Amino acid sequence: MKVLVLVKQVPDTATQVKVGSDPRAIATTGITWIVSPYDEFAVEEALRIREKRGTGEVVAVSGGPERVKEALRSCLAMGADRAVHVLDPALEGADTLTTARVLAAVIQQEAPQLVLTGRQAIDDDTGAVGAQVAELLGWPCLSWIMEEAIAEDGATVRAGRQVEGALELFDLPLPCVLTAQKGLNEPRYPTLKGIMGAKKKEIKELGPGDLGVNVDGPQLELVRLEALPPRPPGRIIPGEPKEAVRELVRVLREEAKAI
């Protein structure tokens, strides 16, 4: 079974995000880039499907500037068989529909039986691309999955997602799109062997022209990013505990209106 995993390269979770000189983007100097953690769950699940079935192929796909290859190499080091890179710097700030159209075109070329991706990327947090890709392809989609099991004949998948106090189980025909929630699995570390072997694996490079995607401009326009106002400093109420508590209650009631 061929499983395609859509991954996004995002700033490391420890990054102190600052608005850039162009207020529609963040300042990228000095940022460490990683594979979005939810996408790592998707890669891990794809590898487990291949291992469980004993055969198959795992293909990692991403779009964006040259540095996106680092993220794809991480997927190859984890164990993906090959990767596809849509080399187009314009994808960096593209709206989700544009991204979904490009990825859907890659999926049509590759014709996998299953597409996995994270429930959202941890940079823009839109959580839209998985569902949009499925819609463009006319495939079913289940988001935020916590478990999956593909039928032995490879025709359907049973996948579950957490809802308030229960697990909701669905049967979907393949091909379909599943998006991964935390808890689906524990992603493996790449091994040294995996890292050293990754450079021998193929990263196929596609240009925007290779996909025949007609892009009629973004459907969603980012106006600007604004930094959050700095948090007001904490306040220490001095005095004897008895009076201090009285003052605290007064402040919470009258000023903060919290009680």
Partner 1 sequence: MRIELTDEQQMIRELAREFAQKEVEPIAAQLDREGRFPHETVRRMGELGLMGIAIPEKYGGGGADTVSYVVALEEVARACASHAVIMSVNNSLVADPIHRFGSEEQKERFLVPLASGRGLGCFALTEPQAGSDATNQATLAVRDGDHYALTGRKLFVTNGREATVALVFCQTDRDKGSRGISAFLVEKGTPGFLVPKVEDKLGLRASDTAEFVFEECRVPEANRLGEEGLGFKVAMTALDGGRIGIAAQAVGIARAAYEASLAYARERKSFGVPIGQHQMVQWMLADMATQLDAARLLTWRAAALKDRGEPYGVAAAMAKLYASEMAMKVTTDAIQVHGGYGYIKEYPVERYFRDAKITQIYEGTSQIQKLVIARQLLDLG
Contact residues toward partner 1 (CB under 8 A) are: 70, 73-74, 77, 189-193, 195-196, 198-199
- Which residue spans within the chain are E strands per DSSP? 2-6, 9-11, 33-35, 57-64, 82-87, 114-118, 141-150, 156-163, 166-173, 176-180, 203-206
CB-wise, 67 or 253, nearer to partner 1?
A: 67
Look up residue 197 and give its amino acid. Answer: G
Using an 8 Å Cβ cutoff, are 143 and 161 in contact? yes
Q: How far is the CB of 74 from partner 1 (least distance, A)?
A: 7
Q: Closest Cα to residue 99, out of 76, 128, 125, 139?
A: 128
Q: How far is the CB of 242 from partner 1 (least distance, A)?
A: 28
CB-wise, 22 or 202, nearer to partner 1?
A: 202
CB-wise, 10 or 159, nearer to partner 1?
A: 10
Distance CA(165)–CA(129), nearest Å, equals 27
DSSP H helical ranges for the chain: 37-53, 68-78, 96-110, 129-137, 192-198, 241-250
CB-wise, 62 or 74, nearer to partner 1?
A: 74
**25 token code pair:** 């983007």
Tell me the C-alpha to C-alpha distance, in Å, between residue 142 and each of 8, 146, 172, 223, 241. Answer: 19, 11, 8, 31, 54
**117 token code pair:** 């991706």
CB-wise, 197 or 208, nearer to partner 1?
A: 197
**233 token code pair:** 């400093």
Tell me the C-alpha to C-alpha distance, in Å, between residue 34 and each of 22, 85, 163, 209. Answer: 23, 16, 29, 27
CB-wise, 199 or 253, nearer to partner 1?
A: 199
CB-wise, 106 or 198, nearer to partner 1?
A: 198
Distance CA(226)–CA(224), nearest Å, equals 7
